Amino acid sequence: MKIYIKNKKKIWMFLGLVLASILLWGIGRAVYHDKFQNAPKNLVETPNVLQKLNESEKTSQKVILVFFKENCPYCEVAKTEIEEAKKQADFPVFYVNTESKNGQQLKKKYELKYASSLVIIQKQNNYISTEAVVAYADKNDRGQYIPLTGNIKKAFGQVIYE
């Protein structure tokens, strides 16, 4: 028994449309997963940051403070690079929310103008000094927020910031 189908062209078009939809859905899901699910989570202040900073200044040669503010586009754009650099660091790295009580104290101590700043603290001959305060993000000529990858790499990669 043969089955005759009218309008074979319409059926092939329908099947092609279904297949294309499934393909686009799969690509969209993969892109979403890669971009959002694997992205670093929101920045969170290191618990007991002042106490940990004091302890680290006694035992470590170098400490980096990563200052941030909630919903700061500069801070958000650079968090992936900072997280990657932190994984490679052999010294303490602490996150400080400039809007918290501890963050306000440290912001004043290091005279920060912007939330998206790294403070590099060095210890040489038992003398603790702030070697540098550098920005880790900025806006380019087109108004896009961009991480300052060079500043981040330099801060995390060198013992003394030049």
Same domain, 87 and 11: no
Residue 135 lies in a domain: yes
- Angle subtended at Cα 148 by Cα 122 and Cα 64, rounded to the nearest 5 degrees: 20
Q: What is the pLDDT of residue 159?
A: 39
Same domain, 35 and 55: no
Same domain, 13 and 73: no
Tens digits of residue pLDDT in 110-125: 899 889 999 998 877 6
> Position of tokens 């500043």?
151
Task: Decide: pTM greater than 0.75.
Answer: no
User: Domain containing 131 — which CATH number?
Assistant: 3.40.30.10
Same domain, 54 and 20: no
Q: What is the pLDDT of residue 161?
A: 41
Same domain, 91 and 12: no
| Amino acid in position 61 | Q
pLDDT tier at 34, thresholds 50, 70, 90: low
Number of domains in the chain: 2
Same domain, 60 and 14: no
Its domain, for residue 10, covers 1-39
